Amino acid sequence: MSFRSQLLRSFVIGVVAMILIILIVLFPRQLDITVDRYKVVADYQFSWNVYGNNIIQFLKGVVQDHTLGMTRHHDETAGTAVLRSMSFSLIIIVTAFTISFVLGTLKGILDYQGSRRKIGFLGNWTTWLFQSIPDFLLLLLIQWLLIRYVPSLRIFTQEGWTAFLLPSLLVSIYPLVYIARITSASLAAQEGQLYIKVACAKGLPRTLVLCKHMLANCAGSILSHLNSLFVYILSNLLMVEYFMNYPGAAHRLFKAMDYSTSFGTGHNYEPGVIIGICFCFMLLLLFVQWISQISRTYLDPRKGV
């Protein structure tokens, strides 16, 4: 498949996925709650009319009035809410993405190097152990320790450097381990290849072989995981923002779904906000996908052979 049609394909699939998400989000969710003499009865009747109406209303709003509708706060449009929360989250996403990719690759190299020595199991063990701790447990533990032992660190603040650095660090822990695992696995897969033997036979130092020859060959397979890395970051983002009470997009998205234990989907369900934030996430994901596809094509050492 040619390079350009690959980019186009991911774009088309992105559009289809967006349409599907819009359809799921606009699915009618209102319950009929009535009081039947002495008890409350909830009834749900699906009707195509309501569903169609939802879709038409939404499309009308987007195309004619250029709006996603209102939020639960009546003086705020969904558009501003989306942009505000995205601006909070974007800084976290970008920082976490950079931290996890750079440090993750480094840790992967160290893991691989370590696996050749006696302490090898240490690197791998830390990776598993980290992957096995549920993220909410880790978050709780960190919060608890910080509140208890480092009370001077203000973790719930929304200003100053801790406001975005701490959540970014928390978000990047799991993706970092993920990238480390992939890096060390793809380095290990190169082991014993002829080109490495040649490089070693030339008397090049091991570090040089690792950095210049092996990493260049692994770059493709590591970069192909960029989009799963991004999705990983997004799903971590929800947990971190939820526990830190950070006013970011993932938290806003969950809030807009308005899941309550009283009526399931409550009356404050905000389809506009959900669709808006999903759209932003998708744009970012598409962007990451394109970066990964482009860099894979241009960084491949076999290019032009």
Partner 1 sequence: MRNLTLWIGAIMFTLLMFVTFAGPYLPFIDQTLTPEKHRWSQDERLILPPYEPSSHNLLGSDKDGVDNLSKIIVGAKETLLIIFSITALRYMIAVPLGLLAYQKKGLANSILTAWNQLFSYLPTLFSAVLLLSLPFLLFATWRLLWVIFILAAIEIGRVAYMIQQQTYQISREPYVEAGYALGLRPWRLTKSYFIPALMPEIIVHFCVDLGKVTLLIGQLGVLSIFLSQEWVEVGAMSMKLMNTSHNWMSLLASMRADIYVSKFTYIFYPALAIMFTILTFNVLGEGIRAHFNRRTHHSL
The smaller minimum CB distance to partner 1, of residues 24 and 150, is found at 24
Distance in angstroms (rounded) separating the CA atoms of residues 86 and 198: 50
Distance from the first to the final alpha carbon of the chain: 18
212-271 positions binding partner 1, by CB under 8 A: 227-228, 231-232, 234-235, 238-239, 242, 253-254, 257, 259, 261-265
Query: Is there binding between residue 94 and partner 1 (CB under 8 A)?
Result: no
Sign of the Cα torsion 117, 118, 121, 127 reads: negative
At 286, list the tokens.
């598409």
Among residues 16, 59, 150, 208, the one that binds partner 1 under rule CB under 8 A: 16
Binding residues with partner 1: total (CB under 8 A): 55
Q: How far from chain centre, in Å, is Cα 302?
A: 31
Query: Is there binding between residue 144 and partner 1 (CB under 8 A)?
Result: yes
Distance in angstroms (rounded) separating the CA atoms of residues 138 and 117: 30
HEC per residue, 229-266 = HHHHHHHHHHHHHHHHCCCCHHHHHHHHHCEECCCEEC
Q: Cβ 140 to partner 1, closest distance in Å? A: 7
CB atoms within 10 A of CB 213: 19
| H/E element, 141 | helix 135-149
Give the DSSP letter of residue 116. T
Query: Is there binding between residue 40 and partner 1 (CB under 8 A)?
Result: yes
Query: Is there binding between residue 189 and partner 1 (CB under 8 A)?
Result: no
Q: Cβ 10 to partner 1, closest distance in Å? A: 8
The smaller minimum CB distance to partner 1, of residues 39 and 202, is found at 39
279-298 positions binding partner 1, by CB under 8 A: 281-282, 285
Distance in angstroms (rounded) separating the CA atoms of residues 232 and 239: 11
Query: Is there binding between residue 13 and partner 1 (CB under 8 A)?
Result: yes
The smaller minimum CB distance to partner 1, of residues 20 and 208, is found at 20
List interacting residues with partner 1 (CB under 8 A). Answer: 10, 13-14, 16-18, 20-21, 24-25, 27-31, 35, 39-40, 42, 44, 46, 128-129, 131-137, 140, 144, 227-228, 231-232, 234-235, 238-239, 242, 253-254, 257, 259, 261-265, 274, 278, 281-282, 285
